[in-house]
Structure 1
Amino acid sequence: KPLHFQAMQELLDEETAILEWYILPDKFLTFTLTAQSFNLWTSSQEDRQNLIDWGNAYLRDYRNRDNSQWRETLAQRLEELAKILHLDEILHNLRQNFPNCQKLILIPHRYLHLFPLHALPVTTEEGKTYLQDLFPKGVGYAPNCQVLQQAQNRQRPHFNRLFAIQNPTQDLRFTDMEVEAIQSLFNPHKVLKHDQAEKAALDAETLKNAHCTHFSCHGYFNFEDALKSALILAKSEFTPPPPTDDPSRYLPLEDDKLLDLQKCLTLEDILRLDLTSCRLVTLSACETGITDITSTSDEYIGLPSGFIFAGSPNVVSTLWAVADISTAIFMIQFYQTLQQQPELSVVLALRQTQTWLREATVQDLLDWVDSCEVISPERRKQMQKGLTFSYWKNKLDAKRFESPYFWAAFCAIGA
């Protein structure tokens, strides 16, 4: 049911604000909402056209089979988007009216869901920084105010039972290390590894009792039918011809194989799950944060919203195909942060991990791997070799993962 304005304000405490966008045919609107105030900023028609042009160029280069240009220009592109959205002006108004703001909740609209708004560069008196660095209690996302209300009403204090899917397609080099390290932080834990991670092995009772559900696998978003978006599980890929006569079950993949949706965990399946004990769902997979940008509704249709509807108050997902080694490092550090500082929110733990990854030098990362007790000695050697191959061998002072490409893909959605 739609929320009235007063109910929206009741979602906010004295330190939190909502920044929400809405795209119209001739302009876009930016709403700033606090517990005590409301502000509306209206763009020009030129601003809207610049946003359309920017988004088209971003998606065109991203979808290019060799998207190196997209990766190399990502930081510059985000600077351009911040200017198009007049972010400095919006934030100046927010600080003037609400100087005590500690946390920001972003509610994008349509294709704005595809972009790392938390990583937009902003100008302060001290110089350039990122949007998320301005708010001590973090910057998170919500699909809309109704879903935010549902997520906030779920109190999940426990965080010791893990259910995980581990590398079902067996083509992610550092994913096995990631899950092996994470599972050691939980007791009890249940992990479906490689060929075991098939749809038939998913147990409803295990999922219902899990405090954390972690998927290290590939993700897929279906722009023609959002409910057929899926997390790809084991034994779901086939070489043509398909084993049945039902063509709607199968989707073509780039390597001339077919994906059997009935053997994947689709959004339709996710909506039927019972995650009433879950505090966090992590989608450590490619493109799991992508949503239906063709809809003009303010509804949010995607894998993250599916897990929130299923009962989890928090979902961490990705906006693009993330690098395997940096994702493994990121996820291990993220879970260690959550376990070592249980009072932290998911949003804040994610921000701390992002800041750590982008600031760490190659030597810092080597030292971290060497002292990380949850990584086995054999895996440490594998990780250290991956960190110092080729160009990086003599660049130990370089910040290898400083680019937003490596850290900005991760978004915290929900409470």
Structure 2
Amino acid sequence: MSDPRTILAEFLVTERATVLQVIRADLAEPTVETIPLGRTELRRLVRDAFAAAGPTSRFRSRDPSVWTEPLSMLIEPVTRYSDPDDTIWLVPHDVLHSVPMHALDTGSGPLIDRNPVCYSPSASVMRYCQAKSYPNRQPVLVYADPRADAPLVHARGQADVLARLFGDRTTARVRAAATINALTRDLGERTDGVAVLHLSCHGYFSDDDPLQSGLLLAPEPGDDGRLTVERIMSMRMPAELITLSACQSGVSDRHAGDELIGLTRALIYAGAAAVVVSLWAVDDLSTSIFMGYFYSALADGMPRARALRTAQVRLRRTNRADVVEYCRRAITATDDDQGVQRRALLRSLADIHYAAGAFEAALDSYEQLDASSGDEPPDPWLLTAIARTRAALRHPDPAPVDYGHHAYAHPYYWAPFVLIGDWR
């Protein structure tokens, strides 16, 4: 097998078919393939598969083969012109910008098992990204859990992970300190740019005015904390990598010429060499575990696309025992002032014990959660969970305890994250 290469696969969706152009350094000219999936059929498949991707249960409970199998013909030619471990650089078109193509089936598993994958809105955007890459940048900035009215209880854990991995290179702003003015100052003081800017916050998309889509940082007097696309495009944000650990941060609107108006293009315009975003609203706990895997790989010196692949494969293989261990470590690491985070971790721990059929351990965690509520009114959900668990303990023939089940095998958990820009 040859050394790993980079394979460019650029798509063009037409009314009757999708045209794929494959470019490889050792080919005299691009190879063109025609895939019998036209615009109408593609839009139907994508609408049916991903319309419910988000906080609802429909997408998570649906068999992913419903969409991975019919869409797999899009990447079949890519696998013919590449070897395992080659980096696949995908340039989607039209509705394909909404598809996690790295999750499509190769016949022996998802593409990400076979190859590292990166994306770009166009080939010219990738050249722009690579021209801005300066690998000697060192500082790491983390902005986490900025909204008291919409807490992301596991975001503090992400900040702790980056601080542990990157040490004194890391500056973390959490809760009320994570303002737009603080971000502007932090970036302005680091004139050579930063290695990583990690934003763990809520994102939102405005159908009526995509330029007003954005991220929610902490409000302060005179500033509502809305970091909009329009505002980002007026800022200077030189970074090797910007990670948006936020809901639907990769969603963009398509205008004439397939120009993307969204957070991704705004961040690249502002100075990012690469951006990691999510295609749909993500699960808070699994995302925190995923980010730990991703940044651990980066800290070990792994290129970005390979680090993302490593994290996605690891998350797919994370079992219930791994989640229990993660929650226990995180509970031990929480400070006294992180009561909300501790309670969220206890709930996750209890839920995973219950799912594994370890009802005594689940009841113990639920009761700890109940005891930690202090003088607050009883939580109806928690009371129901305790009653349900006690009833399960009385069952005369319980199922075997199973901590080996892969908790995040469904693409809902691992597939939304995409790397856009420089894969190196």
- TM-score, scaled relative to structure 1: 0.78
Q: Which amino acid aligns with 2:16?
A: D
What secondary structure does 1:211 align onto? strand
Q: Which amino acid aligns with 1:68?
A: S
Matched, 1:185 2:165: yes
The residue aligned with 1:166 is 144
**How far apart, in 1, do the equivalents of 2:309 and 2:42 lie?**
26
**How far apart, in 2, do the equivalents of 1:410 and 1:50 lie?**
25
Structure 1 residue 200 displacement after superposition: 3.3
The residue aligned with 2:367 is none
RMSD after superposition? 3.0
Residues 77 and 188 (structure 1), Cα distance of their counterparts in 2 relative to 1, 3 Å cut = same
Structure 1 residue 374 displacement after superposition: 11
Equivalent in 264, 282, 290 of residue 243 of structure 2: 282
Matched, 1:61 2:52: yes
What secondary structure does 2:261 align onto? coil
Structure 1 residue 280 displacement after superposition: 1.0
The residue aligned with 2:34 is 42
Residues 317 and 100 (structure 1), Cα distance of their counterparts in 2 relative to 1, 3 Å cut = closer
What secondary structure does 1:275 align onto? coil
What secondary structure does 1:287 align onto? coil
Structure 1 residue 25 displacement after superposition: 3.2
Structure 1 residue 86 displacement after superposition: 4.2
What secondary structure does 1:40 align onto? strand
What secondary structure does 1:292 align onto? strand
Q: Which amino acid aligns with 2:303?
A: S
Matched, 1:391 2:355: yes
**How far apart, in 1, do the equivalents of 2:65 and 2:75 lie?**
15
Residues 384 and 345 (structure 1), Cα distance of their counterparts in 2 relative to 1, 3 Å cut = farther
**How far apart, in 2, do the equivalents of 1:62 and 1:140 lie?**
21
Identity %: 27
Say whether the 8 Å CA contact 2:16–2:38 is kept in structure 1.
no
The residue aligned with 1:20 is 10
Q: Which amino acid aligns with 2:311?
A: T
The residue aligned with 2:394 is none
Say whether the 8 Å CA contact 2:42–2:95 is kept in structure 1.
no
**How far apart, in 2, do the equivalents of 1:323 and 1:80 lie?**
24
Say whether the 8 Å CA contact 1:160–1:188 is kept in structure 2.
yes
What secondary structure does 2:160 align onto? helix
Say whether the 8 Å CA contact 1:163–1:206 is kept in structure 2.
no
Between 1:199-208 and 1:161-170, the stretch displaced more is 199-208
Structure 1 residue 373 displacement after superposition: 12
Structure 1 residue 382 displacement after superposition: 6.3
What secondary structure does 1:301 align onto? strand
**How far apart, in 2, do the equivalents of 1:169 and 1:301 lie?**
25
Equivalent in 87, 108, 116 of residue 75 of structure 2: 87
Identify unmatched segments of 5+ residues in structure 2: 359-400
Identify unmatched segments of 5+ residues in structure 1: 1-12, 238-242, 244-259
Q: Which amino acid aligns with 1:263?
A: G
**How far apart, in 2, do the equivalents of 1:296 and 1:54 lie?**
23
Q: Which amino acid aligns with 1:77?
A: V
Structure 1 residue 117 displacement after superposition: 0.7
Say whether the 8 Å CA contact 1:184–1:374 is kept in structure 2.
no
Structure 1 residue 368 displacement after superposition: 5.5
The residue aligned with 2:216 is 232
**How far apart, in 2, do the equivalents of 1:313 and 1:373 lie?**
35
> Superposed, which structure 2 residues align to 1:259-270 within 5 Å?
263-270=225-232
- TM-score, scaled relative to structure 2: 0.77
Say whether the 8 Å CA contact 1:81–1:120 is kept in structure 2.
no
Residues 118 and 81 (structure 1), Cα distance of their counterparts in 2 relative to 1, 3 Å cut = same
**How far apart, in 2, do the equivalents of 1:59 and 1:25 lie?**
21
Between 1:206-215 and 1:282-291, the stretch displaced more is 206-215
**How far apart, in 1, do the equivalents of 2:102 and 2:162 lie?**
26
> Superposed, which structure 2 residues align to 1:295-306 within 5 Å?
295-306=255-266
The residue aligned with 1:358 is 316
**How far apart, in 2, do the equivalents of 1:110 and 1:48 lie?**
8
Matched, 1:201 2:185: no
Between 1:264-273 and 1:322-331, the stretch displaced more is 264-273
Say whether the 8 Å CA contact 2:146–2:178 is kept in structure 1.
yes
> Superposed, which structure 2 residues align to 1:117-156 within 5 Å?
117-123=101-107, 128-135=108-115, 138-156=116-134
> Superposed, which structure 2 residues align to 1:271-350 within 5 Å?
271-276=233-238, 278-293=239-254, 295-339=255-299, 341-342=300-301, 344-350=302-308
Residues 305 and 375 (structure 1), Cα distance of their counterparts in 2 relative to 1, 3 Å cut = farther
What secondary structure does 1:17 align onto? strand
Between 1:196-205 and 1:364-373, the stretch displaced more is 364-373
Structure 1 residue 60 displacement after superposition: 3.5
Structure 1 residue 54 displacement after superposition: 0.9
In the alignment of these two chains, the number of paired residues is 363
**How far apart, in 1, do the equivalents of 2:53 and 2:169 lie?**
40
**How far apart, in 1, do the equivalents of 2:202 and 2:110 lie?**
28
Q: Which amino acid aligns with 2:355?
A: Y
Q: Which structure: larger Rg?
A: 2
